[in-house]
Amino acid sequence: MKGSPELKKIADNLERPPALDRIVSADMTEEEKNEVVLELKKRFDSQDLGDLKEGEVPLTQEQELYVKAADAFIDEELEHYGLHGRDLPPNVIHVLRPGQFNKFLSRRKLEDPKNNTAAITSAMDQMIVFKDLQQGGHKFFSNVVHEKSHLKSFISFNPVAIEGTEDVNIVARRLGWNIEETNPEGKTFFHGIDEAVIETLSVDIVRKHGGEAFGQEFDTSEKLRHALIEYIGSIIRGSGSSLATAESQKELVEFKEFLEHDAMFLSRAEEFLHSYESAEKDKKDLILLDALGSYMDKRPELIEEFQYRYERKFLRNLIATLYKENESQFQSEEDIERLFIKGGFDGNIMPVARLIEGTFRKGSFRKLGEVTRTGK
């Protein structure tokens, strides 16, 4: 628990504190805050799905290993930013059949018009819920890293008066970069930034630890991915095979960017890499050209990719602009990315706010929250 002194005091008496950092209220007494913490602790410990329990699908042995490994990998990554990962037991992950999953979304006033939501982290319920899509290992592991990172990020709650009564509801106010309006159907500001930050972290974790999670097949995919990135770079620079000039430079630049930032796992990597490594020196480029053509033509079939591609590109472009305009203050773009990541986990987003307001104009940070929000 990373929040206020009074919450830290309460946490000292709890074996495993709930997913909570701060209760934002000047009106609540310490005793009332204690009651909220204990209620959230009850939810955290019980992991009660209520009537949706009948739709829960048990994790496979393989999935259980991914869930446990993800926790350790996330905490290790957070240490690089001077952050301490929240202790989450494996049972915070639930897999529900599609019907029950959609009911869960509906009860939390969450919209999924395209039916493409695969998982949700609920601070109110103190749990992570997946839709049973029978996903392969790479995708499931990546999604677990993503959702567990959400639940390890900064979480705060607000008391909200119930109209016509003296009672209050306790509602989630912050989840990472998400800043929620207090009414149930309100907007969530900075949502796009939050997803970009969490998935950027997830990409780094999966690529760094994929070999430990999946063995040689993932390492082979990574070797081929790097070889293709280097090969495309040589073509763009004009030193590669002239046979590849049939592909427009724009397509190559876009695919190189996709491999660098979005590709998770390349099917057939072992086949292509074996051919490449055993080929004569003057034949190696032809093998890579063949692989490149296959992956560009059949990308959805042959390449598993990470989530939130648009949001991550938006964040990269924003960071690049901020660095260009403030180069004297930072050693690299990574220093600015670090501010965004730390803000999502320690709750202090003011360094980013000051940087954005100083770079653009007054009100630009609020504008960023609005253009990356959810809700109407």
* The pLDDT value given to residue 10: 46
Average pLDDT, consecutive stretches of 10 residues, N- to C-terminus, the chain (376 residues):
50 67 85 88 95 95 92 96 93 96 90 84 95 86 97 91 68 92 79 98 98 95 98 80 59 95 97 96 94 95 96 98 97 98 97 97 96 81
Please state, in angstroms and as integers, the Cα–Cα distance from residue 157 to each residue in 37, 46, 179, 216, 299, following that order.
10, 20, 11, 44, 42
For residues 154 and 197, the answer to whether their CB atoms sit within 8 Å is no
* The pLDDT value given to residue 1: 46
Interaxial angle between packed helices 61-79 and 191-214, expressed in degrees from 0 to 180 and rounded to the nearest 10: 120
Q: How far apart are CA 315 and CA 372, in angstroms?
A: 10
* The pLDDT value given to residue 261: 98
User: Which residues are within 8 A (CB) of 203 and not within 5 positions of it... i.e. 6 or more apart?
Assistant: 261, 306, 312
Q: What is the DSSP letter of 59?
A: P
Task: Give 179's strand partners.
Answer: 174, 189
Tokens encoding 338: 């670090």
Three-state SS at 167 = coil
Length of the chain: 376
* The pLDDT value given to residue 7: 46
Amino acid at site 306: F
Q: How far apart are CA 137 and CA 67, in angstroms?
A: 11
Q: What is the CA radius of gyration of the chain?
A: 23
